[in-house]
Amino acid sequence: ATMPVPVPVGVLRLPRGPEGSSRGFSPTSPRFQALLGGDAAAQGVRAALRQRYLRGLAAAQGRPTRFCLRAGVQVDAVFGAADVEAVAIQVDALRTPLGVQAAALLRCTDVLAYSFFL
């Protein structure tokens, strides 16, 4: 049996980072500082906002919710759950202009806003 001849593959060269060492971005940039954790006050604010967001998700569970999607589309559903990475929202009884779906996943990138009554 003969071995197939490997096909040469080109190497993709990424552009150099702004600081010249090709590591992506400057260590003095706000983005780099945020990745390092920044100061304790900013970290505390981020933690408080994250906690508030998670409490909002917990309060929405099982409630009728209106979702405003891209292109001005509004749909109603019963909020089920959201994944940890904020990629998708699981809903039940999704009412769309085309009909009702028993269960569905809404991509978070498509959801501009959602609201529910407490």
Residue 109 vs residues 13, 70, 105: alpha-carbon distances, Å? 30, 9, 12
The order of strands in the sheet holding 111-116 is 99-107, 88-96, 74-82, 64-69, 111-116
pLDDT higher than threshold 70 for residue 21: no
Sign for the CA dihedral angle at 56, 60, 115, 113 comes to: positive
Question: Band of the pLDDT at 11, cuts 50, 70, 90?
Answer: low
* pLDDT (0 to 100) of residue 46: 83
Assess whether pLDDT exceeds 60 at residue 17.
Answer: no
pLDDT confidence of 18, banded at 50, 70, 90? Answer: low
CA atoms in the 13 A half-sphere facing the CB of 81: 3
Q: What is the pLDDT of residue 31?
A: 67
Q: Write the class of the CATH domain 61-117.
A: mainly beta
107, pLDDT greater than 70: yes
Residue 54's alpha-carbon distances to 5, 74, 84, 116, in angstroms, are 54, 23, 10, 15
- Identify the helix (H) or strand (E) that includes residue 103: strand 99-107
Q: What is the percent of the chain where pLDDT is above 90?
A: 38
Asked if residues 93 and 102 have their Cβ atoms less than 8 Å apart, the reply is yes
Q: 82 has which bridge partners?
A: 89
DSSP 8-state class, residue 63: S
pLDDT band at 89 (very low <50, low <70, confident <90, very high): very high
Whether the per-residue pLDDT at 60 is higher than 60: the answer is yes
Overall pTM > 0.95: no
Going from N- to C-terminal start, the domains of the chain cover: 25-60, 61-117
